[in-house]
Amino acid sequence: MVVGVLVQIASSNVDKIFDYLVPDKYISSIKIGIRVLVPFGSQKVEGFVLEIKDSSDVSLKEIYDIVDQDIVLNEEMLELGKKLKEETLATLISTYQVMLPKALKAKAGVNVNKKFHTYYKLMDKDYVGSSVPQKKILEKFLEKDEIAREELVLISSSALSTLVNKNVLLPIVKEDYRVKYEVLDDDRKILTLEQQEVVDKVLVGDYSKPYLLFGVTGSGKTEVYMHIIEDVLKRGKTAIMLVPEISLTPQMVEQFTNRFGNQVAALHSALSEGEKYDEWRRIARGEANIVIGARSAVFAPLKNIGIIIMDEEHSDSYKQSDKSPRYHARDVAIKRGKYHACPVLLGSATPSLESMARAEKGVYQLLTLKNRVNGKVLPDVFVVDMNRESKNSSSHLTRQLLEEVNKTIEKGEQVILFLNRRGFSTFVTCKNCGEVIKCPHCDITLTYHKSSHMLRCHYCGYATGLPKVCPSCKNEALSDLGVGTEKIEEELHNLLPNARVLRMDIDTTSRKGAHKKMIKAFRNHEYDILLGTQIVAKGLDFPLVTLVGVINADTSLNIPDFRSSENTFSLLSQVAGRSGRSEKSGKVLIQTFNPDHYAIRYVEHHDYLGFYKEEMKVRRNLGYPPYYYLCYVKISGKDMKLLGNEANKIKRSLERNLKNTKILGPTPLPIFKINNIYRYGIILKYKKEDKLKDILEKIIKHYQSNTKIRIDIDFNPSHFS
């Protein structure tokens, strides 16, 4: 027997199938989709079995060993990987590796062992025990059929050993999963007529087209999702539930486990590698029927899928942009939906322009939830013009916002304050010479974090202490400018000393379980104010929150990107939607230096469709999606001069070969240098270009052996960075 193996080496030079002989002792265990250990040059490497043949005409090396007894990549995943390779121009091995937890990837630096626990079962029910400890142990089995060793040794380890030796108790070794879910009471709600109509359409509709659920914040989309999944499970099928942020996962998992118990499994980056490995195997074994998680959960090894749901479908976190394969979870979800002949439901209060345009054209089926479930109106939104306010105050919190915060807390209600920038200040500068302290490895200013008294680079991770003197002029004239969540927290403590403030950003939530603890503490009213970055903007539901304050709405508006207006509208609409979700009415204050910008104006009136129409005009005039497709070619390297020359060569090659494509660049990326690597970008705009992928593949192949130049291709990028 001969097997074709794809080795787990991340290089395009070896991204192909290599044949190996199978020793007789392994023939019965060989299956397509398992991993084997093979010789590769002077190395021993793992690889996936993709082909099985009877023989070969050439002399072959033998495989060393079989890594898996069970299939790791089934037929669906193998085909999906090939499609992703074709569509993203990634290596085939990278498309398979993105589907798996690190414990199943070669050379991942992760050594994950299965955890086992010993349980005991009563075999001789007539035995009464010859000592007091034995009798106490036996009494335990009146309550349970199986009891963990840890519980019984607390009574007496010697008595336990005696009962085992007498065959009264039988030890049973079971694998013990690391993730434990707490199941509380299910807060099941009766659907409104509007919600029920959506559920019915999805369950009995046409599965050949994805559904787009456009539902205002507070319209009960999560309850709709759970009713659909409940029906799917009754028919013996499984479900995938995607959420965009890790911060949303604990809340969603809690809601789902309260309804569905241990049928739920979670897959997201907040889990340890051991926990991910356990959850992945629970899913693969069919022990969990519902998978909840962020982007990569779309690859969950479920069988017989009956529904795939993507909540907050507009979020750019569903696009993997930082490494290959640069896929979008929405595209993968639609492919899996076709494979399983099941509906795909995309939900959002602010759908992406591309999705709404597809719904208008009939590519997607549009469903709507126009009303909040409790009959409450959307919160009142007030825009505060900072061009006037900032002259009268040194604080970043206006008098109007502070008064509203005070009133809200006095009524026993809660506040969410949103600022999409972490740290104490955005940069440190010298008042004497104007020097701005930058990262030595990146073309970006360092952010000052007062709690640790450190300057940090939010791109490469470089950190250094705050110097006492300016590194340029040597004067003690350093001053921190700009504002981050840490500085706002300090202002709140000074201005509202009695208010209980909880800051929630990447810095405060880096510890395991921090998201869940913070959300629980705020829901239990242990804090009055939740201050945070976009972690607090989406999906969270707190009944006592009646005021939302946006401290600087212009943070995302000023980013040099064609999606900046859309991202601003979505972000502000989502955070505004956290207010007044229960019986009490809500209010939103937005501080901005651009009060007349259309993205701000449409948020003020909760007018998604008005924003959509205006933004579509802008996109059409500038030639951006959804009117054009985009491809982003990134060229990077350590030698700036060589890089510039090669970037211009690539542009000339593209111009010669692509006649139906607009080519912009090469231009330095917004942050030209990251971690001592310089970066140029070329933007390709096209409606139809049959030769595009062939030309790009030739460029990739031309540079694949060049260690000084790296080429990255990103189709339909979420941003240019």
Percentage with pLDDT > 70 across the chain: 95
Which value, to the nearest 10 degrees, does the dihedral of the CA atoms of residues 257, 259, 261, 266 take?
A: -30
Residue that has been written with the tokens 């709709």 in this structure: 224
- Looking at domain 380-422+484-619, does it have CATH number 3.30.379.10? no
Q: Where are the alpha helices (DSSP H) in 623-711?
A: 640-657, 692-703
According to the model, what pLDDT value does residue 284 have? Answer: 93
- Region 40-54: mean pLDDT is 93
Q: Give yes or no for a contact between 21 and 63, defined as CB atoms under 8 angstroms apart.
A: yes
The set of residues, in sequence order, having a beta carbon less than 8 Å from that of 500 and lying 6+ positions away, is 526, 527, 528, 529
Residue that has been written with the tokens 């076709």 in this structure: 338
Express each pLDDT in 444-469 by its tens digit. 888 888 767 888 887 778 889 888 88
Query: In the structure, what pLDDT confidence band is assigned to residue 144 with cuts at 50, 70 and 90?
Result: confident
**Largest Cα–Cα distance of the chain, in whole Å?**
92
Q: Can you say whether the dihedral through the CA atoms of 466, 455, 445, 559 is positive or negative?
A: negative
Q: Give the right CATH number for 629-715 from 3.40.50.11810, 1.20.210.10, 3.40.30.10, 3.30.70.600.
A: 3.30.70.600
What is the average pLDDT value for the chain, to the nearest integer? Answer: 90
Tokens found for residue 659: 């006649």
- Mapped onto helix, strand or coil, the DSSP state of residue 51 is strand
Q: Give yes or no for a contact between 183 and 258, defined as CB atoms under 8 angstroms apart.
A: yes
Fill in the DSSP letter of residue 434: -
Is the pLDDT reported for residue 132 higher than 50?
yes
Q: Cα(644)–Cα(666) distance, rounded to whole angstroms?
A: 8
Express each pLDDT in 694-717 by its tens digit. 999 999 999 988 989 999 999 999
Tell the CATH superfamily of the 193-369 domain. P-loop containing nucleotide triphosphate hydrolases (3.40.50.300)
Q: Where are the alpha helices (DSSP H) in 325-391?
A: 329-340, 353-361, 386-389
Tokens found for residue 556: 């995302």
According to the model, what pLDDT value does residue 481 have? Answer: 64
According to the model, what pLDDT value does residue 182 have? Answer: 67
Out of 73-77, 158-162, 295-299, 467-471, which region has the weakest mean confidence (pLDDT)?
467-471
- Region 397-424: mean pLDDT is 88
Q: Cα(512)–Cα(441) distance, rounded to whole angstroms?
A: 29
Residue 180 Cα distances to 150, 254, 257, angstroms: 17, 11, 11
Residue that has been written with the tokens 């486990």 in this structure: 257
Q: Is the pLDDT higher at 386 or at 251?
A: 386
Q: Give yes or no for a contact between 66 and 321, defined as CB atoms under 8 angstroms apart.
A: no
According to the model, what pLDDT value does residue 14 have? Answer: 86
Which 3-state string (H, E, C) describes 250-270? Answer: HHHHHHHHHHHHHHEEEECCC
Query: In the structure, what pLDDT confidence band is assigned to residue 109 with cuts at 50, 70 and 90?
Result: very low
Tokens found for residue 151: 């519980």
Task: Report which secondary-structure segment, H or E, holds 504.
Answer: strand 501-504
Q: Cα(418)–Cα(395) distance, rounded to whole angstroms?
A: 15
Express each pLDDT in 637-678 by its tens digit. 999 999 999 999 999 999 999 999 999 989 998 889 999 999
592 beta partners: 385
Burial of 158 (0-12, 13-18, 19+ CB in 10 A): exposed
Tokens found for residue 402: 């502070």
Strands 529-532 vs 414-418: parallel, antiparallel or unpaired:
parallel
Q: Cα(576)–Cα(549) distance, rounded to whole angstroms?
A: 8
Is the pLDDT reported for residue 429 higher than 70?
yes
Burial of 412 (0-12, 13-18, 19+ CB in 10 A): exposed
Is the pLDDT reported for residue 200 higher than 70?
yes
Q: Cα(19)–Cα(21) distance, rounded to whole angstroms?
A: 7
Burial of 388 (0-12, 13-18, 19+ CB in 10 A): exposed
Neighbours of 679 (CB within 10 A): 22
Tokens found for residue 455: 């300057």
Query: In the structure, what pLDDT confidence band is assigned to residue 108 with cuts at 50, 70 and 90?
Result: very low
Residue that has been written with the tokens 């739920």 in this structure: 264
Burial of 48 (0-12, 13-18, 19+ CB in 10 A): buried
The set of residues, in sequence order, having a beta carbon less than 8 Å from that of 265 and lying 6+ positions away, is 179, 279, 282, 283, 287, 288, 290, 291, 292, 300
Fill in the DSSP letter of residue 75: H
According to the model, what pLDDT value does residue 375 have? Answer: 80
Tokens found for residue 121: 């079962």
Q: Please state at what angle helix 608-622 crosses helix 353-361, rounded to 10 degrees.
A: 90
Q: Cα(81)–Cα(94) distance, rounded to whole angstroms?
A: 9
Residue that has been written with the tokens 């709140």 in this structure: 492
Query: In the structure, what pLDDT confidence band is assigned to residue 263 with cuts at 50, 70 and 90?
Result: very high
Q: What are phi and psi of 682, to 5 degrees?
A: -125, 125
What percent of the chain is helix, strand and coil (3-state, nearest 5)? 35, 25, 40
Percentage with pLDDT > 90 across the chain: 63
The topology (CATH level 3) of 2-104 is: GIY-YIG endonuclease (3.40.1440)
Query: In the structure, what pLDDT confidence band is assigned to residue 578 with cuts at 50, 70 and 90?
Result: confident
Q: Can you say whether the dihedral through the CA atoms of 422, 428, 434, 436 is positive or negative?
A: negative
Q: Cα(36)–Cα(67) distance, rounded to whole angstroms?
A: 5
Q: Give yes or no for a contact between 316 and 537, defined as CB atoms under 8 angstroms apart.
A: no
